[in-house]
């Protein structure tokens, strides 16, 4: 069975929390406490989400994180890309390939599943979470 990493799961929880904050800046301390997520790990995720253009941060006393305008138009595929989690489902589709690739009847099956999976992820907008 395909599983979702903690990185993806916690990022979705964090984005959902920010979407309900009504545009106010939320500190990492507040988010970690309210969501019961590890502060340091949430900080790493926030850095990735900021680099991916999904959230923005402000420094200072009233600083914190909030969603960027248009964040909801991005999709789950974009989120996986941002987090570096959009990897091949099986090793033969990855960068290194497979030693059994010659005459392999399964590669086409895995490619079909992978393409279908990617298309489905692209259909789910972040605004739906």
Domain 6-128 has CATH 1.10.10.10: yes
Residues 38, 49, 127, 28, CA torsion sign: positive
- The model's pLDDT over 40-53, given as tens digits with 9 standing for 90+, comes to 999 999 999 999 99
Q: Which of 75, 83, 85 has the alpha carbon at shortest distance from 44?
A: 83
Tokens 């406490």, located at residue: 33
Distance CA 32, CA 43 (A): 9
Can you give the residue ranges of every domain in the chain?
A: 6-128
3-state SS class at 37: coil
pLDDT the model gives residue 73:
95
pTM: 0.86
């Amino acid at each position: 069975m395909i599983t979702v990493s903690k990185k993806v799961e916690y990022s979705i929880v964090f984005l959902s929390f920010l979407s309900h904050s009504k545009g106010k800046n939320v500190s990492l301390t507040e988010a970690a406490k309210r969501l019961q997520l590890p502060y340091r790990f949430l900080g790493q995720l926030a850095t990735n989400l900021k680099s991916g253009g999904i959230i923005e941060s402000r420094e200072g006393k009233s600083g914190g994180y909030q969603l960027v305008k248009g964040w909801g138009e991005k999709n789950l595929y974009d989120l996986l890309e941002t987090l570096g989690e959009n990897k091949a489902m099986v090793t033969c589709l990855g960068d290194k390939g497979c030693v059994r690739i010659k005459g392999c009847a399964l590669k086409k099956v895995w490619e079909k599943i992978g393409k279908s999976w990617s298309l489905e992820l692209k259909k789910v907008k972040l605004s739906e979470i």
